[in-house]
Amino acid sequence: MKKNMRKIALITGATSGLGKAIALRLAKEGYNVIITGRRRGHLEELEKEIEIKYEVKVLSLCFDVRVYDEVEKAINDLPEEWKDIDVLVNNAGLAVGLDPIHKGVLEDWERMIDTNVKGLLYVTRVISPSMVARKSGHIINIGSIAGKDVYPNGVVYCATKHAVDALSKGMRMDFLPYNIKVTQICPGAVETEFSLVRFKGDQARADQVYAGFENLVADDIAEAVSYVVSQPAHVDIQDMLVMPTAQASGSLVHKEIK
Ligand code: NDP
Ligand code: 8X3
């Protein structure tokens, strides 16, 4: 921790799933947290939960990572005491649809590319100059097994996560002179709102994804984040692949359906 000051973590996509669990975990560990997402009501609920449970400060920022002007305004308008962000967790992201390329829905492709690739870049572009100036910071990009592997019908999502893999490697190079750690955490199947979003609200189809095996839960990834941020200054966990025991690759899950 800074002398007499708590560290600050900003988590994108904190309204549900991994981002919410990561925000709660970092707050539990004494970070003041900036929680972001588009659903203002969800942010307000999480803000209250954190304030009740932990003696840290919490600030909500409601913006769409796909809109550069919104990202820039939200971050640049931060009160002075919140400006020196120590840990940025680039988590906001989504898959939309599960179609072969020749049947792909252009709007779905745009949403995935704009959120998972351009959104991550926009947030990093606005926050990293302050880390560079201070020669201090830690950027954690939430990638995926889909960034290490490719599975049929999910190719565009996989391509966006391969982009996150490349961006994580490249950021590590660009930030090397500035003492900024870059970590990529790549989960396998975690039960969150992810599949509900992918299948556009079809809960039964989303439930099928997690049937017959023990998937990861969001707290498993919060635990991974807790591990990487707690390393000493000279240690950077560069890349972490966290899979359910029953999942061997992007498309190979051992299911026991009764
Ligand atoms: P959820 O759908 O539960 O959460 C996604 C989060 O991203 C929400 O908080 C959502 O907030 C936010 N988000 C989506 N689009 C935008 C946007 N345009 N602007 C701002 N925020 C946005 O899914 P997960 O928690 O599972 O996903 C989190 C990350 O983990 C994603 O990057 C995903 O690709 C990755 N991942 C997930 C895995 C899984 O199996 N669940 C496995 C591997 C990686 P809001 O809607 O309020 O804007
Ligand atoms: C999310 C999990 O299985 O769609 O990244 O790759 S999966």
Does the C-beta of 18 come closer than 6 Å to ligand 1?
Answer: yes
Is 88 within 8 Å of 127 (Cβ atoms)? yes
Whole-number CA gyration radius for the chain: 18
Cα(161)–Cα(239) distance, integer angstroms: 13
Burial class from Cβ neighbours inside 10 Å (0-12, 13-18, 19+) for residue 234 reads exposed
Tell me how far apart the alpha carbons of residues 149 and 135 are, in angstroms, rounded to a whole number: 34
Q: Which residues contact 114 (CB under 8 A, 6 or more apart)?
A: 66
Q: How far is the C-alpha of 206 from the C-alpha of 200, rounded, in Å?
A: 9
Q: Are 65 and 123 in contact (CB under 8 A)?
A: yes
Query: Which structural domains are found in the chain, ordered by start?
Result: 8-189+215-242 (3.40.50.720)
Strands 87-90, 137-142: pairing kind: parallel
Q: Which two tokens stand for residue 115?
A: 């959120």
Q: How many C-beta neighbours within 10 Å does residue 121 have?
A: 18
Residue 1: per-residue pLDDT: 46
* Interval between CA 70 and ligand 2 midpoint (Å): 28
The residue type found at 85 is I
Tens digit of each residue's pLDDT (9 = 90 or more) over 136-184: 999 999 999 999 999 999 999 999 999 999 999 999 999 999 999 999 9
Residues 8, 136: Cα–Cα separation, whole Å: 12
Task: Please tell me the predicted confidence (pLDDT) of residue 257.
Answer: 75
User: In the prediction, which pLDDT does 3 show?
Assistant: 44
35-44 pLDDT, tens digit per residue, is 999 999 999 9
Q: Which of 17, 53, 14 is nearest to 35 (CA)?
A: 14
Strand 180-187 relative to strand 87-90: parallel, antiparallel, unpaired? unpaired
The pick from 10, 15, 118 for probing ligand 1's pocket by mutation, whose C-beta has the most ligand atoms within 8 angstroms, reads: 15
Identify the sign of the CA torsion 157, 160, 165, 166.
positive
Best mutation site among 24, 162, 185, 192 for ligand 1, i.e. most ligand atoms within 8 A of its Cβ?
A: 192
Q: Are 21 and 223 in contact (CB under 8 A)?
A: no
Q: Could you tell me the pTM of the whole model?
A: 0.98
Listed as ranges, residues in the chain with pLDDT below 50 are: 1-3
Q: What residue owns the CA closest to ligand 1's atom 23?
A: 194
Predicted pLDDT at 85? 98
Computed from CA positions of residues 127, 229, 33, 185, in that sequence, does the dihedral angle turn out positive or negative?
A: positive
- Distance CA(1)–CA(83), nearest Å, equals 16
Whether 157 is catalytic? yes
